[in-house]
């Protein structure tokens, strides 16, 4: 049962990596869009694409944390103790990002908008980097129950590689989704714009992977040994194949399917990492079984998750469906300011 809960946790992590990751990627491209004039159109597309969904996407993270502390309390405590600083930076980044995004629209003056926009974009880069660094620290066995907070836990070669890869993966997802959104909003020039960026970020990921292999060989020995053989390797190979397919689909402008293949690629890599870590949550100091909470709680956690899937699933489906059909549109000044019949005195 603990194993099942661990897979649920990994699935939620993957969902957050894809849903949240796409938003971070959008922020990354916002950062790279250049000056106010030149970046105007890509930025507008980014705003339009993110608006209705970023809050829902953020909730995956909350749920991930809840599963961590309910299902595997010692694991949660160990990660949050050892990774104190990067996680503080993550949460500050999350606040800045949400606030920067939410407040840049109402800011009417260009300078204010620039400030909020910059805050949003820079923090979109920092959050995935530090999340990646935390994962690298865990995968390289630097966190064990009782490890005090230290710089080594997250400032090490593996963390650097995984942090950069997390940024690369979000940039890739963001670019692929924005390419499809550009088509949806009938902006052919932006289709080419983001397509190019999707290819570039994929190339960057490949380069990073090849740099990462030798760097992490001894640094993250346990995971490295596993990920280079057996099921994890098979998953990695399939992930590489889907990434290649994504690149080809983009080239042929088959934009309907490229989003799914891009997501599949990211999910498969995360699954490979999970499979490689088995049976450990913290290689090589804490197994899934050791970290698991008591059985009744795990049963209930699965039940609550099941009910929630039944409840939230249709809701989320409806949201995405309405969104892709262009049914969701924000209120404008005209809606809230439309003149009322002349004020009737009472």
Q: Which residue has the tokens 């994962």?
A: 135
Dump strand ranges (E) for 200-295.
Answer: 280-282, 286-287
| CB contact at 8 A, 227 and 213 | no
Residue 127 to residue 97: CA distance in whole angstroms: 9
Q: How far is the CB of 52 from other proteins (least distance, A)?
A: 5
Judged by CB under 8 A, the stretch of 27-35, 98-106, 154-162, 169-177 that binds other proteins is 98-106
Q: How far is the CB of 190 from other proteins (least distance, A)?
A: 8
Q: Is 297 exposed, middle or buried (0-12, 13-18, 19+ CB in 10 A)?
A: middle
Of residues 237-296, those binding other proteins (CB under 8 A): 293-294, 296
Q: Is 111 in the site for other proteins (CB under 8 A)?
A: no
Q: Which residues of 19-29 are buried (b: 16+ CB within 10 A; e: fewer)?
A: bbbbbbbbbbb
The radius of gyration of the chain from alpha carbons, rounded to an integer in Å, stands at 21
**Alpha-carbon 313 to chain mean position:** 19
Of residues 298-317, those binding other proteins (CB under 8 A): 298, 300-301, 304-305, 307-308, 311-312, 315-316
Element (H, E) at 71: helix 54-71
Q: How far is the CB of 78 from ligand HEM (least distance, A)?
A: 19
| CB contact at 8 A, 190 and 42 | yes
Interacting residue with other proteins among 32, 91, 144, 203 (CB under 8 A): 91
Judged by CB under 8 A, the stretch of 156-164, 194-202, 203-211, 329-337 that binds other proteins is 329-337
By beta-carbon proximity to ligand HEM, the closer residue of 295 and 315 is 315
Q: How far is the CB of 89 from ligand HEM (least distance, A)?
A: 18
- Binding partner selected for residue 200 from other proteins, ligand HEM, none, CB under the kind-specific 5 to 8 Å limit: none
By beta-carbon proximity to ligand HEM, the closer residue of 59 and 302 is 59
| CB contact at 8 A, 53 and 323 | yes
Name the 3-class secondary structure at 308: helix
Cβ contacts of residue 59 below 8 Å, gap of 6+?
Answer: none
Interacting residue with other proteins among 217, 289, 318, 324 (CB under 8 A): 318
Q: Is 155 in the site for ligand HEM (CB under 6 A)?
A: no
**Nearest C-alpha neighbor of 202 from the set 249, 137, 155:** 249
Q: Is 209 in the site for ligand HEM (CB under 6 A)?
A: no
Q: Is 91 in the site for ligand HEM (CB under 6 A)?
A: no
By beta-carbon proximity to other proteins, the closer residue of 275 and 282 is 282
Q: Is 144 in the site for other proteins (CB under 8 A)?
A: no
By beta-carbon proximity to ligand HEM, the closer residue of 62 and 144 is 62
Of residues 51-70, those binding ligand HEM (CB under 6 A): 58-59, 62
- Binding partner selected for residue 35 from ligand HEM, other proteins, none, CB under the kind-specific 5 to 8 Å limit: none
Site size toward other proteins (CB under 8 A) is 98
Q: What angle do CA 48, 51, 53 make, to 5 degrees?
A: 125
Site size toward ligand HEM (CB under 6 A) is 3
Interacting residue with other proteins among 40, 152, 192, 225 (CB under 8 A): 40
CA distances from residue 292 to 76, 159, 286 in whole angstroms, order as listed: 11, 26, 10
Q: What are phi and psi of 282, to 5 degrees?
A: -120, 100
């Amino acid at each position: 049962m603990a194993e099942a809960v661990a897979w649920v946790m990994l699935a939620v992590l993957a969902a957050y990596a894809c849903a949240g990751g796409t938003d971070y990627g959008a922020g990354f491209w916002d950062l790279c869009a250049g000056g106010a004039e030149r970046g105007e159109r890509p930025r507008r597309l980014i705003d339009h694409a993110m608006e209705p969904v970023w809050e829902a996407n953020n909730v995956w993270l909350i749920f991930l944390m809840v599963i961590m502390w309910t299902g595997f309390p010692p694991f949660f405590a160990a990660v949050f103790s050892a990774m104190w600083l990067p996680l503080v930076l993550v949460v500050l980044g999350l606040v800045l990002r949400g606030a920067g995004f939410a407040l840049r629209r109402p800011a009417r003056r260009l300078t204010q908008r620039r400030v909020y926009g910059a805050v949003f974009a820079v923090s979109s880069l920092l959050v995935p980097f530090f999340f990646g660094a935390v994962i690298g620290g865990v995968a390289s066995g630097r966190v064990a129950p009782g490890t005090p907070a230290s710089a080594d836990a997250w400032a090490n070669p593996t963390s650097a590689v995984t942090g950069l890869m997390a940024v690369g993966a979000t940039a890739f997802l963001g670019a692929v989704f924005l390419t499809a959104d550009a088509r949806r909003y009938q902006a052919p020039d932006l289709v080419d714009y983001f397509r190019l960026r999707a290819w570039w970020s994929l190339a960057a990921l490949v380069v990073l992977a090849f740099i990462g292999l030798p760097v992490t060989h001894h640094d993250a020995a346990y995971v490295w040994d596993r990920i280079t053989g057996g099921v994890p390797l098979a998953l990695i190979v399939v992930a590489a194949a889907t990434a290649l397919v994504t690149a080809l689909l983009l080239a042929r402008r088959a934009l309907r399917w490229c989003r799914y293949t891009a997501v599949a690629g990211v999910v498969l890599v995360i699954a490979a990492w999970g499979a490689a870590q088995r049976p450990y949550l913290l290689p090589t100091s804490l197994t899934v079984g050791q970290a698991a909470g008591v059985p009744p709680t795990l049963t209930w956690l699965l039940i609550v998750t099941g009910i929630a899937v039944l409840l939230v699933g249709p809701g989320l489906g409806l949201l995405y469906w309405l969104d892709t059909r262009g049914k969701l549109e924000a209120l404008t000044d005209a809606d809230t300011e439309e003149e009322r019949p002349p004020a009737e005195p009472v």
